[in-house]
Amino acid sequence: MQFEDEGYIVDVRRYGENSLIVSAVTKNHGLLRGFVRGGLSKKNLGIYQIGNLIAIDAYARVEENMLSFKTELVMPTAVNFMNDSKRLATLSSFCSLAVSCLPENENTEHFYYYIDSFFQLIADPNWLVHYAFFEFYLLEYLGIGLDLTECADTGSTENLAYVSPKSGKAVCAESGAPYKEKLFAYPHFIVDKNYNPTNLEMADLLKLTAFFLNKNFFQNHGLKFPENRVNLAQNLDL
């Protein structure tokens, strides 16, 4: 078995004296893990950094074996995170979610667009918004997306203001007002594709996605919600 792909490094682990096990989120094969012989050599130190974009030539003698990787550095995107504590905290959160949630050897289809946008637009002033889109559409990719089209109580598509933590469905302002302390804020900027939300809107969105990722994926699979993600809002001063 042999194939080629491209993706971002999300985990690097030492194997033996001079080799690595590298995990990358790829365009066509989801999360890939592979053995890199000599990955710790001096000439490779700049390649195998979390966040770098690499081209992968993956191969295995039989399908059951771990893949072996031959790689080339496509873009040193890791450097865009290293000197900024908030970007670095967000990268750590991204990697924890990717390693825990994304399936191995499965086509990520259109979802890879949100992964690529996060890395490619990390230097933009609104870089955090692209991360928020990644988390929101990760819910959809995992099959636990929210129903934000109409009010769960009235069926109205007008004046949607909240999201129910029980159903993951939208709630209009009138129906939700008596229970607003128990509801999440409706993510208008995501629905409207507005890339300039306020800090409060960003904080509300990250509360919402954290809740549903933990409840509907991590808890269902008996997994602990990553500490990197638990502390993200605090690390971002939101």
Do residues 114 and 194 share a domain? yes
More confidently predicted of 45 and 177: 177
Mean pLDDT of the 117-133 span: 96
What per-residue string of b and e applies to 176-210 under the rule 16 or more CB within 10 Å gives b? beeeeeebbbbbebbeeeeeebeeebbbbbbebbb
Whether residue 155 is predicted with pLDDT greater than 90 in this model: the reply is yes
How much is the mean pLDDT over the chain? 94
Q: What is the CATH number of the domain that holds 61?
A: 2.40.50.140
Q: What is the CATH number of the domain that holds 102?
A: 1.20.1440.120
Backbone angles phi, psi at 92, to 5 degrees: -60, -40
Kindly report, residue by residue over 182-234, the tens digit of the pLDDT: 999 999 999 999 999 999 999 999 999 999 999 999 999 999 999 999 999 99
Do residues 151 and 205 share a domain? yes
Whether residue 26 is predicted with pLDDT greater than 80 in this model: the reply is yes
Do residues 51 and 107 share a domain? no
Gap between the Cα atoms of 113 and 106, Å rounded: 15
Backbone angles phi, psi at 38, to 5 degrees: 70, 20
Do residues 95 and 52 share a domain? no
Do residues 40 and 89 share a domain? no
Number of CB atoms found within 10 A of residue 101's CB: 18
Mean pLDDT of the 31-51 span: 91
- Say if strands 160-163 and 67-75 run parallel, antiparallel, or are unpaired: unpaired
Whether residue 238 is predicted with pLDDT greater than 90 in this model: the reply is no
Gap between the Cα atoms of 189 and 208, Å rounded: 13
Widest pairwise Cα distance in the chain: 63
Q: What was the pLDDT predicted at 146?
A: 95
Give the residue numbers spanning the domain of 187: 84-235
Q: What was the pLDDT predicted at 61?
A: 81
Count the alpha carbons within 13 Å of 123 in the hemisphere toward its beta carbon: 5
Do residues 17 and 89 share a domain? no
Do residues 47 and 155 share a domain? no
Do residues 62 and 134 share a domain? no
Mean pLDDT of the 155-160 span: 95
Residue 137 CB partners (closer than 8 Å, separation 6+): 111, 114, 145
Q: What was the pLDDT predicted at 109?
A: 76
Residue 15 CB partners (closer than 8 Å, separation 6+): 21, 35
Whether residue 4 is predicted with pLDDT greater than 80 in this model: the reply is yes
Do residues 63 and 119 share a domain? no
Into how many domains does the chain fold? 2
pTM of structure: 0.93
Do residues 37 and 109 share a domain? no
